[in-house]
Copies of this chain bind each other. A is one copy, B any other.
Amino acid sequence: MIQMAPLIRADLEGLDARDALAPLRERFTLPEGILYLDGNSLGALPKATAARVAQVIEAEWGKDLIKGWRQHGWMALPSRVGEKIARLVGAEPGQVVAVDTTSINLFKLLAAALRLKPGRKTILSEAGNFPTDLYIAQGLAELLGSGYRLRLVEKDEILDAIDGDVAVVSLTHVDFKTAEIHDMAGITAHAQAKGALMLWDLCHSAGAVPVALDRCRADLAVGCGYKYLNGGPGAPAFLYVARRLQEALEQPLTGWLGHADPFAFEPHYRPAAGIARTVCSTPSVLGLAALECGVDAMLAADFAALNAKSTALTELFIRLIEERCSTFGFTLASPREAVRRGSQVSLRHRDGYAIVQALIARGVIGDFRAPDYMRFGFAPVYLRYVDVWDAVEHLRRVMAEAAWQRAEFQSRAAVT
């Protein structure tokens, strides 16, 4: 994309000037003096959010009170926001709802998967999966007893480990530490050929990398609203169930809003038709209103262009690290090949924790994951090419000046 002589900042100003996606940045509030490379952990604030949430509070709840449930479509929010997220993850309508949390949705769908595959007792995952995914599977297996188990293998052992006892393979599409992308189509096909269901966690994918759930014939998926979907801290999550599985799907969190007729107040649960049976409780109206603003900001963009920019930003970061920080002992933990990498670059360094703290002190917000991963997320909706230059320049100075050796950056007491 760029000439091969060492880059200078002006090159990147040129890229920004020609960037058709640049106006998207105006949809977000970004604090002065901050280079925010942590949208993979908590997305930035869309400018529309504050006014929309204020409207829900003051004009809807405040003025119409209980009538808001119908008058303002609150009851339909899980479905309405879910359908919008569906467009970001390659799902036809009627298969996604925005509801509850990633962990809770995972519990619902893993439990449902085990019931769809009677006789099979294993949930298969990888040892490096995001911990909550493992904890939830452990909690479910322990609750069920009777030989149900979570089996953990290394990334390169997954395909071989899918045997006749595996009911469901549960993987995170983009690795939270390294941003490595799993081959969704290939692993899904392999799992299904072995008689297992395939569940994808899209926490680090939705809004960040191309996802084609339907085309890959995924069975089940969950994902997060507060990372690349910019829904705000603790935003509701989402889940996907392929249409072909929905009528047989029995999930155990059978709350009243997943009932076929919630306001009939029948004493016995009858699941709603279709994806609605995965809803459990009264929806979080404030949370869903904020999430919808974040999703709308993503839908305003051409998604192919967004993915191309995401790749360009991470490529650029890696190239600049190679050109300008090659002597500081960083190891690239993310795949060098762009197509195998999410919208994040991870570097490993023995002193990664202190380096991240020193960067934060300079206004460059990345994060650290034990034992030695420095994570830098590149949300293409609000980051510029010059931001990548400036972040690398801050990192170069931190290293050149050995700033990270100062005592205040060494203390682990401040770990987030």
Which residues of A come within 8 Å of B, CB atoms? Answer: 29, 31, 34, 36, 38, 41-42, 44-45, 49-50, 53-54, 57-58, 61-70, 74, 100-104, 107, 111, 115, 127, 130-132, 134-136, 138-140, 142-144, 146, 152, 226, 232-237, 250-257, 259, 262-269, 280-288, 290, 360, 365, 367, 369-370, 414-416
Contacts and interface: CB of A to CB of B under 8 A. Distances in A.
Q: Indicate the member of A54, A66, A251, A283 with the most B CB atoms within 10 Å.
A: A66
Contacts of A286: 53, 232-234, 286-287, 290
A54 B63 contact: no
15 contacts: A31-B65, A42-B66, A45-B65, A50-B57, A53-B57, A107-B252, A107-B253, A111-B143, A127-B267, A131-B265, A131-B267, A138-B269, A233-B283, A234-B285, A284-B287
Contacts of A285: 232-234
A181 to B, nearest CB: 20
A104 B103 contact: no
A269 B235 CA distance: 23
A265 B369 CA distance: 8
A263 to B, nearest CB: 6
A287 B257 CA distance: 19
B416 A140 contact: no
A334 to B, nearest CB: 18
Given A254-B135, A416-B66, A283 B234 contact: yes
A267 B57 contact: no
A44 to B, nearest CB: 7
A239 to B, nearest CB: 13
A233 B68 contact: yes
**Copies of this chain assembled into the complex:** 2
Contacts of A42: 61, 65-66, 68-69
B29 A58 contact: yes
Contact of A255 (B41, B103, B264): B103
A226 B237 CA distance: 20
Contacts of A61: 42, 45, 232-233
Contacts of A136: 253-255
Contact of A234 (B34, B62, B282): B282
B226 A290 contact: no
Contacts of A266: 131
A288 B107 CA distance: 23
Contacts of A102: 281
Nearest to A43: B65
A49 B57 contact: yes
A224 to B, nearest CB: 8
Contacts of A235: 284
A285 B283 CA distance: 15
Contacts of A41: 66
Given A66-B367, A234-B285, 15 more contacts: A38-B65, A42-B65, A45-B61, A49-B57, A66-B365, A101-B281, A101-B282, A111-B143, A134-B269, A135-B254, A136-B253, A143-B144, A233-B285, A263-B415, A286-B287
Contacts of A256: 103, 130-132, 135
A185 B233 CA distance: 39
Given A256-B131, A285-B234, A263 B104 contact: no
A131 B264 CA distance: 9
A70 B415 CA distance: 10
B280 A226 contact: no
